[in-house]
Amino acid sequence: MQKTITRNALLLSTLLATGQALQAQEDKYQWLEEVDGKNALDFVGALSNKTVEKLSSQPYYQSIYDKSLAIYNSDEKIAYPNIQGKYVYNFWKDKDHERGIWRRCLLQNYTSGKVVWETLLDIDALSAKDNTKWVYKGSSGLYPQYNRFLISLSKGGGDAVVIREFDVETKQFVENGFNVAESKGGASYLDENTVCISSDFGEGTMTTSGYPRQTKLWKRGSLLKDAPIIFEGEKTDVGDWGGVMRDGNKAYVMVERAMTFFTSQKMVWMGGKMVTLDLPEDAVTKGILKNQLIVHLKSNWTVGANTYATGTLLSLNFTDLLANKKTIAVVETPDASGSISESIATTRNYLMVNLLKDVTSHLYAYNFENGRWKREAVNSPKLGTIYIVTSSEQTDAYFFNFENFITPSSLYIADAQKNTTQVVKRLPAYFDAEKYMVQQFKAPSKDGTLIPYFVVSAKNMVYNGSNPTLLEAYGGYEVSYEPYYLSSTGSVWLDKGGVCVIANIRGGGEYGPKWHQAGMKEKRQNVFDDLYAVSENLIAKKITSARHLGVMGGSNGGLLVGVAFTQRPNLYQAVVCAVPLLDMQRFNKLLAGASWMGEYGNPDVPEEWDYIKKYSPYHNLVAGASYPEVFFTTSTRDDRVHPGHARKMVAKMNDMGYGTYYYENTEGGHGGSSTNAQKAKENALIYSYLLMKLK
């Protein structure tokens, strides 16, 4: 949480204003923050063209592009389902549908293998009709028939979306239906004629982070501007979101007021008033089942004579909680070797929970009987990653996916009541897994903490320090970096003699909330030290050497690798820094940046800037260093992490005489690409760069 400042408010605001003015004067590259400014676009366009020209001429570029595109467009991909009533819905891209189609199939046909898809919405056709590069961003259906949906569409792939009501029977957008102008936010049906919505309702209705701070209940046939406001948060909140939570046939209007990225008030709209739930502000709600509100604790919680430990998953009788009483049942308390994964779902009668133990998945079904949760292990594959794809709220059916680094993704259908599982679809193998092995090691970090990491390599790898090695990590926001199938990477990197390494550094969620909290704010140097510990351990084992070691990360991971090459320039020969945060003095002024102060701290507070400035990559560039030639990637349409971070960093480095590579896709949002062809191009650029630098 942000530190309390015990000084005169007027003096503080004066100091901050002065500091910001000085900062603006000193930052001569700030003009690159003008996203669509002509000078900025000309500058990054020239850099991108130069990079594409150089890297596309590398010997492996075309084969990597072709292989990647073939995988992304393959008809053998798994069509992941989303259960809505008696249908499964799926969004699909291939060579004939560049921007994709939204389609459905009867659930019983999908599970029996008699799949007949019915196309509902063609995004390519819609884009051509509207002369807009639409990107599908999901849908929210009307319970229980699911004959209407609220479709979210983004212009170019950003987080801001327009919402349009769609009738799946007529396959048309509903004339005069629930249609919402472009905004960050969301909407969901309470009933056929009522929508709970948080959006940009006009001047003053958004937070400083660029998210909604008002929630409305909007009746069909009325104007959105006239819909009653049921909650309004503070402008300084990260955001305030409303939605509908279902427990069988019961529907509750829930509002969450996020004061920071990790703390929020949870409220319920009941009887024409807002009721605040007496829960820890850092706890996370995970749904409701059989009148049990599922809650994941991020810190110790003492209720009466009982203290529930950090990381515990528990439930509270919802009726009692609304009456300000607490009747609590523990679902699961992980031990020191694991954590509760974010992959949690409910069926009609069961709570499905994925437990991580030393970064591998273990799936369990829980049934609530006589005031207690009864656990049963699901017959699921071992030594890999499981995530729950979708579940039915009307039956006990659900789908889950299993994969690991060398095992192709497999989709399973399961029945929680019968505890049965069955493979529905497997990806084909995109490389020969028999040639490779997966090992897990632990490296001691600077403070002695053991940091686990996976190494994927050839079985006959020679330990001579010359293997081209790509190290990936994230280290933030309690996100766990779990094993995943190396589909295109297997053929374009492993098959060319490369080694893949995934580091489970602090800041993530692999070992629960405490693992994350050990890398927050003033403790962030732990995250970077963990990365260096793994890097040095790889070198000590003679798997690789600094000459053959590359590091890659995106978003918060882009910040990670930006710090890595500025703090330890001699440790890496190649760096891929994707959609990164880099200017940590201005991150909270750019787009959604203010929402991340709970993770990094507030650079406008002198005490917090004192530790942020020690690692801010943009501010720690120095002349005469031996920096590698870094490859920066970003997107013009990234409305989450501002492209100005990457733009300013490369401009500053180039002016200091350092060689860099830079590629900015004109669309794609924070994901970097909107189509399979764009994704394949970026993949080919990145791996051509890595092969050029590390082999």
| Catalytic option among 670, 673, 674, 688 | 670
Residue 670 appears among annotated catalytic residues: yes
Would you say 154 and 161 are in contact if contact means Cβ atoms under 8 Å apart? yes
Report helix, strand or coil for 285: strand
Report helix, strand or coil for 453: strand
Would you say 580 and 635 are in contact if contact means Cβ atoms under 8 Å apart? no
Burial 260-297 (b: 16+ CB within 10 A, else e): bbbbbbbbbbeeeebbebebbbbbbbbbbbbbbbbbbb
What does the block give as tokens for 684? 């080919």
Residue 555 appears among annotated catalytic residues: yes
Would you say 483 and 440 are in contact if contact means Cβ atoms under 8 Å apart? no
Single-letter amino acid code for the residue at 12: L
DSSP assignment of 300-346: -EEETTEEEPTT-EEEEEHHHHHTT---EEEEE---TTEEEEEEEEE
Q: Which of 312, 314, 284 is nearest to 514 (CA)?
A: 312
Burial 617-646 (b: 16+ CB within 10 A, else e): bbbebeeeeebbebbbbbbbbbbbbbbbbb
User: How far is Cα 586 from Cα 304, in angstroms, rounded to an integer?
Assistant: 44
Cα distances (angstroms) measured from residue 379 to each of 58, 384, 386, 416: 47, 14, 12, 11
What does the block give as tokens for 627? 């920096």
| Catalytic option among 392, 555, 595, 673 | 555
DSSP classification of residue 172: E
Q: Which of 508, 480, 669 is nearest to 599 (CA)?
A: 508
The percent helix, strand, coil of the chain (3-state, each to 5) is: 25, 35, 40
Cβ neighbourhood burial of 115 (10 Å; 0-12, 13-18, 19+): middle
| Spatial CB neighbours of 548, under 8 Å, sequence gap ≥ 6 | 465, 466, 467, 468, 469, 573, 694, 695
CA 211 to chain centre: 17
Cβ neighbourhood burial of 395 (10 Å; 0-12, 13-18, 19+): middle
Say how many CA atoms lie within 13 Å of 393 toward its Cβ: 20
| Spatial CB neighbours of 142, under 8 Å, sequence gap ≥ 6 | 148, 149, 189, 192
Would you say 291 and 313 are in contact if contact means Cβ atoms under 8 Å apart? no
Active site (catalytic) residues:
555, 670
